[in-house]
Amino acid sequence: MQEIKREILLDRAASLLADGTVDRVLGWKNGEFDYDVTPAVFRTQQDLEDFVWNGFCGANFSKYLVGETRKGEGKVLAFLKPCDTYSFNQLLTEHRFNREKVYAIGVPCDGMLDIRKVKEAADGVRSAEIAGGQVIIHTLYDGDVTVPAEDLLAERCIHCKSKKHVAYDELLGEDGAVCETGRFDEVARLEKMTPDERYAFWQNELSRCIRCNACRDVCPACTCEKCVFDNPESPVENKAAANSFEEKMFHIIRAFHVAGRCTDCGECSRVCPQHIPLHLLNRKFIKDIDTLYGDYQAGAEVGSRAPIVNYTEDDPEPAEAVERGDENA
């Protein structure tokens, strides 16, 4: 994991700042703990002393570029993992930021760690580092605990859709390829449930939602200037669910809004404080779109039109979709 070392990213960031190619760097820095890594903007060489690159740098920077490119005239440097570049392209397709204001560097990635799994593997986690395919967890009580890195990968990395960058100005290291990792297996398992079983599954998962809006705020596909959930004229403005119907409505509306545009980056599930597998709702839409209209990956190239907004004479009739929905509802 993490074949590209921090020093390589740091050197490129410092060099591009020094020669004026960019005037700020979008990267990562530690929070309260070493595993609490958060996105940050670095403007000077001194700021870059806090720059980190490790197995906890899972944040997708694409959405941050929407706001960051509106600040000033200079370019911002963004380090993008392969999965991030799909969101990057999708946002360009939707004209959400100015490509000329971004210098994108592709960074190879063999997967990011899930801090929840790390905490389950050891008590009193202080920090963790990756070495030779192993994660060395430094604890407060039991010394160092070593666990195979593959056992601690985030779900989206276990089922990684691609290690190939589809957008960059500069690439560090060698590029990868599109992956076949069975990312729709869990969706297929849910489809095989009876309607009552599936209802119970989602009832249990969504009942934990606290309407913190973290999934919406981090989602690269959610970039409306005025979100319906922030609209005081709507009956769903920023409020906790009053009943089980409202509990589900927020996530169902969001899933429909991003259908055909979701790149399956998994950020929604990563940031959910209640550990709700929200990515499964989006993957269900992706799987159905692939089945009904042919394979389509949002963000694979700039300017591509999602099948559900692109009419062709071979499109399935509405009845076909309804019939299939009855089979897998």
Give SS3 for 147. strand
Burial 287-306 (b: 16+ CB within 10 A, else e): bbbeeebeebbbbbeeeeeb
Cβ-in-10-Å burial (0-12, 13-18, 19+) of 131 comes to exposed
Predicted local confidence at residue 78, as pLDDT: 97
Query: Does pLDDT of 61 surpass 90?
Result: yes
Predicted local confidence at residue 73, as pLDDT: 85
Give SS3 for 152. helix
Strand order through the sheet with 170-171: 37-42, 24-30, 76-80, 102-106, 170-171
Q: What is the pLDDT of residues 169-219, one digit of tens each?
A: 999 988 889 887 789 999 999 999 999 999 999 999 998 998 889 999 999
Which has the closest alpha carbon to 26: 86, 97, 102? 102
Predicted local confidence at residue 328, as pLDDT: 57
Residue 133 carries which DSSP code? T
Mean pLDDT score, 261-285: 95
Mean pLDDT score, 11-25: 96
Predicted local confidence at residue 4, as pLDDT: 81
- Which H or E run includes 27? strand 24-30
- Report the alpha-carbon distance of residue 132 to residue 155 in Å, rounded: 21
Concatenate the DSSP letters of all residues of 222-291 into one string.
---SS-GGG-TTSTTSS---SSHHHHHHHHHHHHHHHTTT-----HHHHH-TT---THHHHHHHHHHHHH
**Spacing of C-alpha 85 from chain mean position:** 10
Q: What is the pLDDT of residues 70-119, one digit of tens each?
A: 998 899 999 999 999 999 999 999 999 999 999 999 999 989 999 999 99
Domain boundaries, the chain: 6-111+161-171, 115-152, 185-328
Positive or negative torsion for Cα 285, 81, 58, 141:
positive
